[in-house]
Chains A and B, each alone.
Chain A
Amino acid sequence: MSIAQDEPGAQFRLSMLLNDTRYRGYTFQAVALLALIAFMAYLGVNLVQNLAAAGLNISYQFLGEPAGYDINQRLVEYTSQSTHWRAAVVGVLNTLLVAFVGCFLATVIGVFVGILRLSKNWLIRQLTSVYVEIFRNVPVLIWILIVMQIFIVVLPQPRDFKGANASASMWFDAFAFTGRGFYTPKPIWMDGSWVVVAVFLASILGVFAFRQYAKTRLYRDGVMLERFWTSLGILFVPCLVVYFIMGQPIGLDYPALKGFNFKGGVYMRNSFIALTFALSIYTAAFIAENVRAGILAVSKGQTEAAASLGLRPNRIMNLVILPQALRVIIPPLISQYLNLTKNSSLAIAVGYMDLTGTLGGITLNQTGRAIETVLLLMLFYLTISLSISFIMNIYNNAVKLKER
């Protein structure tokens, strides 16, 4: 933006600081800076006075002291004797876990619903738009609480699995869905299992290499190699072979009913499941709209042009429509991921111990160090948001239309 500039050349006078557009900017900035510094100083003085009056100080020493509370869902080793810092780390990991699983689920559901909203089928269109509108227009906190309630009330309790004529039963004797949470088998890593894992990672690289090779062949010789089944084969066959050669080093620990509860396996608490599920169906409604808008944003002329080149429908979708739609879909998609991550702080409403529950909840209440904990809390979310928007900017620059 440009604004009218006064003519250069006149001798500098003090009044120019107000009247001359060349210098007025400096005046404004100086005033703004001074006002900001004065405001900060005012807040700082108040803070010092208030802290002195309350006999407090700013210190992060409490992070090294034992937390003294238990966390019921954790990804790393933690006991009530661990430090507050350790509790915060557990919280961070729990937040990231919800964010990752939630984003994944939300994308799957959102893309699915978004495509269904463009279906030829009238009934499906209406159903999906009812879903989208209801979820977009009611607060996410209400959805989280409702889903949690559904879990507690509707799903069977572990005691219902007991006895000869139990009212509930496990799926394939491996999965149990109860009101207290989900139980799934847990892999046991025995000697030699690292070989299998290494082979699996290598075959993922192999798939990429094969795709590259197939592309080169296509461009050089015009030969289309079968890609899907070959990729699948590369991914799984070596793994399975090595798995059996090494004598099946990876076992499964099945959950089983012991007493009044399930033992063994992986236990996912109801609060985790409810939070993740509620966040993902809520965010999926927004993603569905983004996907729909993205597909509609590609003009019909593109489809027709591709068809007139003789491309078949699925190749039109893959090569012409999707790359252009993705350019429209991905930026709002990423900001939905960010929203989901920030909304995961609502875990506190269902008692899931994410960072807001550990550091911003119990630690804050126990130590009374409000400023320090809230600052750390903000710093964590800020880091995540800024790094994701940094990545997004790189992506946007990479895919934006090269205009002259």
Chain B
Amino acid sequence: MTDQHQVAYVRTEMLPEQAPPSSQQGVFKWVRENLFPDVVNSIMTVLALLIIYYLLSGFMPWLFGGVWTADSIRDCREILDAAGREVGGCFAVLTERWNQMLFGFTYPTDQYWRPFTAFLLLPFAVTGLMFMGLIAKAFRILAIVQLCMAALIVVGAMAQGSGLGMAVTPAILAVLAFAISTLAASGTPIVRYLILMTALYPFVAFWLIWGGSILSPLFVMIGLIIGYLVFKRGEAFGFAAGVALGLVATVIVWIIGGQIAGLAPDFLAFEAVRSRDMGGFMLNFILGTVCVSLSLPIGIVLALGRQSDMPIIKIICVVFIEFVRGVPLITLLFVANVVLNYFLPPGTNFDLILRVIIMITLFSSAYIAEVIRGGLAALPTGQYEAADSLGLDYAQATRLIILPQALKISIPGIVNVSVGLFKDTTLVSVISMFDLVGMIRGPILASTEWNGVYWELWGAAILLFFPVCYGISQYSQWLERQLDTSHR
């Protein structure tokens, strides 16, 4: 045994490690494990490849053989025939009618930059809320996105020979976003100012989109600010008293402001655009953002009411929520269209878009209430008891202890409801409003030039909706992971 290592056929040194066989490494191994692990999976892979090939072989020639400039569908076909191509999309309808699809057909053409700017400002308003810890990175991404937009518009403008001015806005905003990202990276507590931006945004956006004098949105804002300050002072007398005082102060400022704004209708005024001139994808966007933001506070109140100990308030909230959740949105839109006017004081004539906003807001507030109720129910009872034992009253406990946690839990649900609502705004086309779907079905497909161009238009609609909805839902999943403070 002792001199075993001197025997000639026993190795004295270790062999170097050999590379694994080629079937066990690299692409080959990946393909075998992920595509052809067994017979059934191999068949499925082949089938999937066939399906992909079938889809792409139909889709690609259509996409790349398309015609981008023509006056009508007949022109398109002639150009395709002349080029000897079998298939090809008639994308000329998009170059011709993109403005109608985005802004509707009565929004003044030379004012397109206004809703466009409002849209580009939206990320600035929401980023502060959305990416709490990642401000610098978020704004760097935003700067890149805005720059790309500017570049795209410059390219598009060259092709069209107009609208070059619209590229200026994203370029300026890109610089702004870059500046904010630098500031945030340097450690400045910038989030406070960004939330200011969020608070300012609704008024700026209103002014940009609807036009008119800056005074009216300005006074609405001043009224709210003064109301808030009065509320802060009045809170010493109790929460309810503070709210009441604040409301009174707000209304007083609004009345005075209304008088002043009436005196100077042209002060810093854009050309006013009536609500019924809004259309296209812009209308979907307006309805989605306005209704979701309005329905959040209502939803919170409804959820608290449903959890309340007071039977009458609870019954009112339950009946409202269950009623709204039980009927399709379309019936509520019918109400907005044909019934709501009967319930308003004789002589009042509400704008259809305003009536629709009211009904969609009620609709989504019921759904948001249910989501927040889930959040409230998920809070451990200990939180309520801890608040009580600190001697906080209901308003204090709810504002300081319960709601911050409950809302945090329900953010993903709220985001999901918002995506659903944004998609549901297309339903307004059924009551003959010209949102994106309404524009496509109505003025564009019914016109003699473009009657028959289906796939290009619906494809564009998908391309407009998908990135927004997919982006928001991915964000909500990301947020869910970020907010998940539990340890697994």
B342 beta carbon closer than 8 Å to chain A: yes
B384 touches A2 (CB 8 A): yes
Mark interface residues in A369-391 (1 if CB within 8 Å of B CB, else 0): 01100100110011011100000
Of the listed stretches B1-9, B104-112, B164-172, B466-474, name the one at the interface; the rest are far from the partner chain. B466-474
Mark interface residues in B284-296 (1 if CB within 8 Å of A CB, else 0): 0000000000000
Give the CA-CA distance A267 to B470 in the complex, in Å. Answer: 38
Give the CA-CA distance A106 to B327 in the complex, in Å. Answer: 21
B388 touches A50 (CB 8 A): no
Give the CA-CA distance A33 to B312 in the complex, in Å. Answer: 7
Q: A122-B34, A346-B330 are in contact. Are A2 and B385 (CB under 8 A)?
A: yes
27 contacts between A and B (CB under 8 A): A3-B393, A3-B397, A29-B311, A43-B343, A47-B342, A47-B343, A120-B37, A121-B44, A123-B48, A124-B48, A137-B423, A139-B437, A141-B426, A141-B427, A153-B454, A348-B430, A349-B430, A360-B330, A370-B342, A371-B339, A374-B334, A374-B335, A378-B327, A378-B331, A382-B323, A385-B326, A386-B326
A394 beta carbon closer than 8 Å to chain B: no
Q: From residue A353, how far is it (CB to closest CB) to chain B in Å? A: 15
B355 beta carbon closer than 8 Å to chain A: no
Q: A3-B394, A374-B334 are in contact. Are A146 and B458 (CB under 8 A)?
A: yes
CB-CB under 8 A from B426, the residues of chain A are 139, 141-142
Which A-B residue pairs are the 3 nearest by beta carbons?
A385-B326, A137-B469, A122-B34
Q: A28-B313, A49-B346, A53-B346 are in contact. Are A138 and B423 (CB under 8 A)?
A: yes
Mark interface residues in A106-127 (1 if CB within 8 Å of B CB, else 0): 0000000000000111111001
CB-CB under 8 A from A51, the residues of chain B are 342
Give the CA-CA distance A139 to B458 in the complex, in Å. Answer: 11
CB-CB under 8 A from B51, the residues of chain A are 127
Specify the main secondary structure of chain B where it touches its partner: helix
A190 beta carbon closer than 8 Å to chain B: no
CB-CB under 8 A from A360, the residues of chain B are 330-331, 334
A1 beta carbon closer than 8 Å to chain B: yes
CB-CB under 8 A from A237, the residues of chain B are none
Give the CA-CA distance A29 to B397 in the complex, in Å. Answer: 20
Give the CA-CA distance A50 to B345 in the complex, in Å. Answer: 8
A137 touches B466 (CB 8 A): yes
Question: Chain B: interface residue count, which band?
Answer: 35 or more
CB-CB under 8 A from A377, the residues of chain B are 327, 331, 334
The residue in chain B whose Cβ has the minimal distance to the Cβ of A344 is B328
Beyond the given A122-B34, A124-B41, A145-B441, could you list 16 further A-B residue pairs with CB under 8 A, ordered by the A residue number?
A3-B388, A28-B310, A28-B313, A43-B343, A46-B343, A119-B41, A120-B41, A136-B469, A139-B426, A141-B437, A149-B454, A343-B328, A356-B328, A370-B339, A377-B327, A385-B327
Mark interface residues in A1-26 (1 if CB within 8 Å of B CB, else 0): 11110000000000000000100010
Mark interface residues in A43-61 (1 if CB within 8 Å of B CB, else 0): 1001101110100000000
Give the CA-CA distance A365 to B388 in the complex, in Å. Answer: 57
CB-CB under 8 A from B441, the residues of chain A are 145
B316 beta carbon closer than 8 Å to chain A: yes
Which has the most chain B C-beta neighbours within 10 Å: A46, A121, A123, A139? A139
CB-CB under 8 A from A246, the residues of chain B are none
Q: From residue B148, how far is it (CB to closest CB) to chain A in Å? A: 21
The residue in chain B whose Cβ has the minimal distance to the Cβ of A127 is B48
The residue in chain A whose Cβ has the minimal distance to the Cβ of B383 is A1
B462 beta carbon closer than 8 Å to chain A: yes
B236 beta carbon closer than 8 Å to chain A: no
A364 touches B338 (CB 8 A): yes
Contact of B437 among A36, A136, A142 (CB under 8 A): A142
From 346 to 390 in chain B, residues with beta carbon under 8 angstroms from any chain A beta carbon are 346, 381, 384-385, 388
Give the CA-CA distance A355 to B216 in the complex, in Å. Answer: 44
Give the CA-CA distance A47 to B326 in the complex, in Å. Answer: 24
Contact of B330 among A134, A136, A356 (CB under 8 A): A356
B423 touches A29 (CB 8 A): no
Give the CA-CA distance A363 to B253 in the complex, in Å. Answer: 48
Give the CA-CA distance A374 to B381 in the complex, in Å. Answer: 43
CB-CB under 8 A from B461, the residues of chain A are 138, 142
Contact of A381 among B312, B322, B331, B393 (CB under 8 A): B331
CB-CB under 8 A from A137, the residues of chain B are 419, 423, 465-466, 469-470, 473
A29 touches B343 (CB 8 A): no
Mark interface residues in A212-241 (1 if CB within 8 Å of B CB, else 0): 000000000000000000000000000000
Which has the most chain B C-beta neighbours within 10 Å: A2, A141, A145? A141
Give the CA-CA distance A338 to B311 in the complex, in Å. Answer: 28
Give the CA-CA distance A25 to B310 in the complex, in Å. Answer: 6
B480 beta carbon closer than 8 Å to chain A: no
B17 beta carbon closer than 8 Å to chain A: no
B75 beta carbon closer than 8 Å to chain A: no
B341 beta carbon closer than 8 Å to chain A: yes
Q: From residue B316, how far is it (CB to closest CB) to chain A in Å? A: 6
CB-CB under 8 A from B405, the residues of chain A are none
CB-CB under 8 A from A370, the residues of chain B are 334, 338-339, 342
Q: From residue A145, how far is it (CB to closest CB) to chain B in Å? A: 7
CB-CB under 8 A from B430, the residues of chain A are 141, 346, 348-349
Give the CA-CA distance A43 to B385 in the complex, in Å. Answer: 41
B114 beta carbon closer than 8 Å to chain A: no
A345 beta carbon closer than 8 Å to chain B: yes
A46 touches B344 (CB 8 A): yes
Q: From residue B75, how far is it (CB to closest CB) to chain A in Å? A: 20
B35 beta carbon closer than 8 Å to chain A: yes
Q: From residue B327, how far is it (CB to closest CB) to chain A in Å? A: 5
B423 touches A1 (CB 8 A): no
B437 touches A385 (CB 8 A): no
B255 beta carbon closer than 8 Å to chain A: no
A342 beta carbon closer than 8 Å to chain B: yes
Q: From residue A59, how far is it (CB to closest CB) to chain B in Å? A: 14
B391 beta carbon closer than 8 Å to chain A: yes
CB-CB under 8 A from A122, the residues of chain B are 34-35
Give the CA-CA distance A136 to B397 in the complex, in Å. Answer: 38
Contact of A145 among B41, B419, B424, B437 (CB under 8 A): B437
Give the CA-CA distance A362 to B4 in the complex, in Å. Answer: 102
Give the CA-CA distance A141 to B322 in the complex, in Å. Answer: 24
Q: A121-B37, A122-B35, A381-B328 are in contact. Are A4 and B391 (CB under 8 A)?
A: yes
Q: From residue A394, how far is it (CB to closest CB) to chain B in Å? A: 17
B259 beta carbon closer than 8 Å to chain A: no
B325 beta carbon closer than 8 Å to chain A: yes
Give the CA-CA distance A121 to B461 in the complex, in Å. Answer: 32
CB-CB under 8 A from A149, the residues of chain B are 454-455, 458
A1 touches B44 (CB 8 A): no
CB-CB under 8 A from A153, the residues of chain B are 454
B400 beta carbon closer than 8 Å to chain A: no
Mark interface residues in B423-455 (1 if CB within 8 Å of A CB, else 0): 110110110000001000100000000000011
Contact of B310 among A29, A138, A345, A356 (CB under 8 A): A29
CB-CB under 8 A from B384, the residues of chain A are 1-2
CB-CB under 8 A from A136, the residues of chain B are 469, 473
A133 beta carbon closer than 8 Å to chain B: yes
Give the CA-CA distance A32 to B308 in the complex, in Å. Answer: 13
CB-CB under 8 A from A348, the residues of chain B are 330, 430
Give the CA-CA distance A345 to B329 in the complex, in Å. Answer: 9
A50 touches B331 (CB 8 A): no
CB-CB under 8 A from A29, the residues of chain B are 310-313
Contact of B327 among A47, A123, A146, A382 (CB under 8 A): A382
B34 touches A141 (CB 8 A): no
Give the CA-CA distance A153 to B465 in the complex, in Å. Answer: 24
Q: From residue A113, how far is it (CB to closest CB) to chain B in Å? A: 13
Give the CA-CA distance A25 to B314 in the complex, in Å. Answer: 12
Give the CA-CA distance A134 to B339 in the complex, in Å. Answer: 36
Give the CA-CA distance A348 to B48 in the complex, in Å. Answer: 35
A140 beta carbon closer than 8 Å to chain B: yes
Give the CA-CA distance A53 to B341 in the complex, in Å. Answer: 13
Q: From residue A125, how far is it (CB to closest CB) to chain B in Å? A: 9
Mark interface residues in A24-43 (1 if CB within 8 Å of B CB, else 0): 01001100110010000001
CB-CB under 8 A from B13, the residues of chain A are none
